[in-house]
């Protein structure tokens, strides 16, 4: 099957890959651990697309993916790329580590919760995202048809949804396309619908992946190669 | 001559020639002592007027215990900490200039519900609380957030007092403004950096010795209600007034202000063995320095002055008491839960990632 798009990212790529395949799209993918993305160990490489100073296999894997497409880097293969690399869980752990809670969520001050204003929360998230955003900006600069997919989340907390919204704002500020699932669920939705939830309670399932891909396509967030796009239209 | 008298039994430091003139500014000895012993693992809480921020910095840089009861989130960059006023005092009170303001913060710490009575200022769709209107550069989103954040700081102030062995307070001003009806003190004159000045509602006070003494005694009683073993170190800021609303020349107003504060601090220390007075004011502002520790505006204190002050601060601490066994961190259980959650999430992510790789 010819390749229609490339999906690169963390554990959330699994659902997106399954969804793309369910829609009959040819997919090539590269999945790296969320920890590697979060620790900003993964960086942009002009040669192979991605590289890591400590994990040489990252560069090799990216180069292998590029080679399978006849290029050095997957980002120069002329195919649309979906990138999913926002590790909300790690960010949340750091945020809560010293006892902080988001002002938009219920807090127990008597129990020692330290409230954090929305402005500080935004500054925190933007700071945490600085290096992933640098990587995304570099990928965007290659001229590839990039779509950054924000992850679904389960926390039922306003903070998780607002963090995703801040991430989305940052991506769009770079001029890149971003898919934020919360913008496409019905207003008032506070948690991932149960039929979209993987049994691990932390990821979207195949149905989510299919819905996410359909939603991205329906909203022109993915620029498929012309014949495929025409067929889907 | 030569007969025994009170002066003949005094040390060299009791005489101007041997205590000040001959050693010179950089060789003062025994300028102060706490009068109480502290453990090497002593924990300080620090608050007060702007000069107080040097004390927290110096404690941290010396590796001494400084209670930060309202820290920034983990991994928050230093420039953002400064922008949002984290890490300056033991809770995010901003500068506490007057004894009345300290009294107010102690009352809030003892009963955070009182925060609901603190005046808020709404401007251009943003909300600021009148006790620390500039704590966040753009204020808060709305009144709910503003009050929540104020209550959070009141709780943090309480925790800082509970966790501290020593409460260091730098007294800054005698002048302040109060709400005419409620008596609530303001951090600054409404209408200067924030808020709108209303002559009928906002009353100027130049607190007198008895008023400041009463406010300090009330505040200290409140602090000890939270932590009965708390020791207190008082200082007076050597930073002159930016402006006075007293009608006097600002030079005379500054002298009045610092004199009254110095007298209150000295008397409190003299009356109570658990209170010490640290002479930062004297080190910077008195005649022997010839004003050399002030910047050209003759108001800001230079880093050299701050360094000298802090050297004397540490020299006067007696850290010979046995170490205190501390209770486990309040965060221990929470952090264990975060670690466990992270581990579970990492595992789930690994499984998903492996499945994704298998899909190729």
Q: Which pLDDT does position A232 carry in this prediction? A: 60
| pLDDT value, residue B7 | 94
Residues B224 and B347 in one domain: no
Q: Is A57 on the interface with B (CB under 8 A)?
A: no
Q: Are residues B48 and B164 in the same domain?
A: yes
Residue B95 lies in a domain: yes
- Cα B127–B128–B133 angle (5° rounding)? 160
- List chain B residues with CB under 8 Å of A118: 140-141, 145
Nearest CB neighbour to A96, from listed B83, B338, B360: B338
| Cross-chain residue pair A117–B136, CB shorter than 8 Å | yes
Q: B118 and B221 in one domain?
A: yes
pLDDT of B135 > 70? The answer is: yes
**What residues pair up with B37 in beta bridges, in sequence order?**
B318
Within its chain, how far is the Cα of B215 from the centroid? Answer: 16
Interface of A with B in 134-163 (CB under 8 A): none
Cβ contact B301:B239 at 8 Å: yes
Chain B interface includes A108 (CB < 8 A): no
Q: Which of A57, A88, A92, A103 to mutate to test the interface with B (most CBs of B within 10 A)?
A: A103
Question: Could B73 and A21 be called an inter-chain contact, meaning their C-beta atoms sit closer than 8 Å?
Answer: no
Inside any domain, residue B202 = yes
Domain co-membership, B214 together with B110: yes
* Closest residue, chain A, to B77 (C-alpha): A127
Distance of alpha carbon B135 from alpha carbon B147, whole angstroms: 13
User: Does B60 reside within a domain?
Assistant: yes
Is B159 in CB contact (< 8 Å) with chain A? yes
pTM: 0.94
Contact A114 B349 (CB under 8 A): no
Across residues B95-111, what is the average pLDDT?
98
Distance from CA of A29 to the nearest CA of B (A): 7
- Whether B24 is covered by a domain: the verdict is no
What pLDDT score was predicted for residue A41?
A: 83
What does the buried/exposed string (b/e) look like for B47-58 if buried means 16 or more CB atoms within 10 Å of the residue's CB?
A: bbbbbbbbbbeb
pLDDT at B35: 92
Looking at the complex, does the CB of residue A232 fall below 8 Å from at least one CB of chain B?
Answer: no
> Which of B330, B345, B353 lies closest to A31 in CB terms?
B353
Residues B206 and B335 in one domain: no
Give mean pLDDT, residues B176-203: 95
Q: How far is CA B63 from CA B42, B44, B55, in A?
A: 11, 12, 12
pLDDT on residue A89: 82
Tell me the β-bridge partners of A27.
A5
Band (pLDDT 50/70/90 cuts) for residue B352 is confident
Q: Does A203 touch chain B (CB under 8 A)?
A: yes
| B111 shares its domain with B233 | yes
Arithmetic mean of pLDDT, B231-254 = 97
Residue A228: predicted pLDDT: 65
- pLDDT for the residue A153: 79
Q: Which residues of A touch B330 (CB under 8 A)?
A: 99, 112
Helix axes B303-315, B53-61, angle to 10 degrees: 60
Nearest CA distance, A12 vs chain B (angstrom): 7
Asked if pLDDT for residue B315 goes beyond 80, the answer is: yes
- The average pLDDT across B108-123 equals 97
pLDDT reported for residue B42: 97
**In what helix (H) or strand (E) does residue B166 lie, and over which residues does it extend?**
strand B166-171
Do B216 and B332 reside in the same domain of the chain?
Answer: no
Averaged pLDDT, B88-99 = 98
Residues of A in contact with B112 (CB under 8 A): 109
Choice between A232 and B271, residue whose per-residue pLDDT is larger? B271
Average pLDDT over residues B215-239: 98
| Chain B environment of A29 (Cβ under 8 Å) | 356, 359-360
Q: Which of A6, A17, A87, A123 would best serve as a mutation to test chain B binding (most B beta carbons within 10 A)?
A: A123
* B101 shares its domain with B182: yes
Average pLDDT over chain B, rounded to whole?
95
Q: A107 to chain B: which residues are within 8 Å by CB? A: 148, 152
- In chain B, whose CA is at the least distance from the CA of A104? B145
- CB contacts < 8 A, A to B, total 133
Identify whether B13 is part of a domain. Answer: no
Whether B138 sits inside 8 A of A119 (CB atoms) is: yes
Q: Which of A34-43, A80-89, B200-209, B226-235 is the least confident region?
A: A34-43
Cα–Cα separations (whole angstroms), residue A154 to A200, B130, B296: 11, 38, 58
Backbone angles phi, psi at A27, to 5 degrees: -125, 135
What CATH number does the domain containing B56 carry? 3.40.50.1110
CB nearest to A89's CB, from B72, B345, B355: B345
Provide the number of structural domains found in chain B.
2
Domain span at residue B74? 30-327
Cβ contact, residue pair A112, B330, below 8 Å = yes
Q: Say which residues have a Cβ less than 8 Å from residue B19's Cβ, sequence separation at least 6.
A: B12, B13, B28
Same domain, B175 and B103: yes
Contacts of B71 in chain A (CB under 8 A): 98, 114
Q: Do the chains contact at A115 and B152, CB–CB below 8 Å? A: yes
What residues in B contact A31, CB-CB < 8 Å? 353, 356-357
pLDDT (mean) for B172-194: 96
In a domain, B19, yes or no: no
Q: Which of A91-95, A208-212, B275-279, B319-323 has the lowest mean pLDDT?
A: A91-95
B84 touches chain A (CB under 8 A): yes
Q: How far apart are CA B268 and CA B306, in angstroms?
A: 24
Which residue do the tokens 């300080």 mark? Answer: B44
Residue B358 has pLDDT above 90, yes or no: no
CB contact under 8 Å between B75 and A94, yes or no, is yes
The answer, yes or no, to whether residue B183 has pLDDT greater than 70, is: yes
- Kindly provide the ipTM of the predicted complex, given to two decimals: 0.94
On whether any CB of chain B is under 8 Å from the CB of A194, the answer is no
pLDDT at position A223 is: 85
> How many angstroms separate the CA atoms of B320 and A191, rounded?
56
Residues B146, B270, single domain; the answer is yes
Per the rule left: phi > 0, alpha: psi between -120 and 50, beta: everything else, B124 is: left
Instruction: Establish if B22 belongs to a structural domain.
Output: no
Pair B227, B348 in one domain: no
What domains sit in chain A, N to C, each tagged with a CATH number? 5-87+129-232 (3.40.50)
pLDDT grade for B328, boundaries at 50, 70 and 90: confident
pLDDT(B212) > 80: yes
Q: Which of A118, A120, A202 sits opposite B348 (nearest CB)?
A: A202
| Chain A residues touching residue B155 (CB < 8 angstroms) | 109-110, 112
Taking only the tens place, the pLDDT of each residue in B12-29 is 999 999 999 999 999 999
B124 shares its domain with B262 = yes
Task: Tell me whether residue B23 is in a domain.
Answer: no
> For each successive 10 residues of chain A (233 residues), what is the average pLDDT?
93 96 96 76 93 90 95 95 88 94 96 97 95 93 96 84 94 96 91 92 95 97 74 57
Phi-psi region at B90: left, alpha or beta (left = phi > 0; alpha = psi -120 to 50): alpha
Residues A178 and A124: beta-carbon distance below 8 Å = no
Q: Which of B288, B237, B293 is nearest to B265 (CA)?
A: B237
The CA distance from A137 to A143, in Å, is: 10
Q: What is the pLDDT of residue B355?
A: 83
Predicted confidence band of residue B359 (pLDDT cuts 50, 70, 90): low
Residue B44's SS3 state is: strand
């Amino acid at each position: 099957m010819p390749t229609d798009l490339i999906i690169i990212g963390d554990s959330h790529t699994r659902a997106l890959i399954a969804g793309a395949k369910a829609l009959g799209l040819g997919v090539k993918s590269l999945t790296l651990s969320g920890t590697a993305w979060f620790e900003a160990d993964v960086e942009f490489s002009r040669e192979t697309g991605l590289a890591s100073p400590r994990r040489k296999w990252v560069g090799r894997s990216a180069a292998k993916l590029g080679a399978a497409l006849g290029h050095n880097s997957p980002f120069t293969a002329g195919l649309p790329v979906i990138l999913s690399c926002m590790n909300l869980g790690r960010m949340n752990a750091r945020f809560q580590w010293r006892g902080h809670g988001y002002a938009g969520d219920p807090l127990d001050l008597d129990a020692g919760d330290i409230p954090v204003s929305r402005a500080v929360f935004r500054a925190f998230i933007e700071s945490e995202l600085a290096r992933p955003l640098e990587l995304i900006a570099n990928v965007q600069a290659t001229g590839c048809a990039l779509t950054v997919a924000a992850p679904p989340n389960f926390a039922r907390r306003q903070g998780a949804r607002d963090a995703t919204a801040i991430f989305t704002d940052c991506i769009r500020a770079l001029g890149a396309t971003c898919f934020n699932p919360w913008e496409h669920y019905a207003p008032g939705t506070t948690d991932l619908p149960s039929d979209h939830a993987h049994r691990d309670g932390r990821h979207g399932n195949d149905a989510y992946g299919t819905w996410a891909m359909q939603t991205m396509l329906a909203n022109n967030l993915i620029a498929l190669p012309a014949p495929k796009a025409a067929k889907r239209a | 001559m030569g007969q025994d008298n009170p002066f003949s039994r005094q040390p060299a430091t009791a005489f101007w020639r041997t205590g000040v003139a001959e050693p010179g500014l950089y060789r003062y000895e025994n300028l102060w002592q706490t009068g109480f012993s502290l453990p090497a693992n002593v924990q300080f809480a620090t608050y007060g007027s702007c000069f107080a921020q040097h004390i927290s910095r110096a404690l941290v840089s010396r590796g001494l215990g400084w209670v930060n009861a309202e820290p920034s989130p983990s991994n928050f960059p230093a420039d953002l900490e400064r922008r949002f006023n984290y890490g300056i005092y033991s809770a995010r009170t901003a500068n506490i200039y007057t004894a009345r303001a300290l009294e107010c913060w102690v009352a809030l710490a003892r009963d955070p519900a009182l925060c609901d009575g603190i005046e808020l200022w709404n401007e251009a769709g943003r909300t600021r609380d009148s006790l620390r209107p500039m704590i966040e550069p753009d204020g808060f989103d709305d009144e709910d957030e503003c009050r929540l954040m104020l209550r959070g700081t009141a709780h943090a102030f309480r925790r800082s007092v509970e966790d501290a062995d020593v409460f260091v307070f730098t007294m800054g001003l005698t002048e302040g403004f109060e709400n005419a009806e409620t008596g609530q003190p303001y951090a600054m004159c409404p209408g200067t950096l924030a808020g709108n000045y209303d002559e009928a509602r906002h009353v100027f006070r130049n607190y007198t010795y008895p008023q400041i003494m009463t406010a300090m005694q009330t505040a200290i009683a409140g602090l000890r209600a939270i932590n009965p073993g708390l020791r207190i170190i008082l200082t007076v800021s050597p930073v002159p007034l930016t402006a006075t609303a007293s009608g006097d020349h600002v030079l005379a107003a500054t002298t009045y202000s610092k004199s009254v504060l110095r007298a209150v601090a000295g008397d409190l220390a003299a009356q109570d063995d658990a209170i010490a007075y640290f002479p930062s004011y004297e080190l910077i502002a008195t005649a022997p320095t010839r004003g050399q520790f002030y910047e050209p505006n003759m108001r800001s204190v230079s880093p050299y002055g701050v360094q000298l002050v802090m050297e004397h601060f540490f020299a006067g601490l007696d850290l010979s008491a046995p170490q205190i066994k501390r209770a486990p961190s309040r965060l221990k259980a929470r952090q264990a839960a975060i670690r466990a959650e992270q581990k579970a999430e990492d595992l789930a992510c690994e499984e998903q990632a492996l499945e994704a790789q298998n899909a190729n």
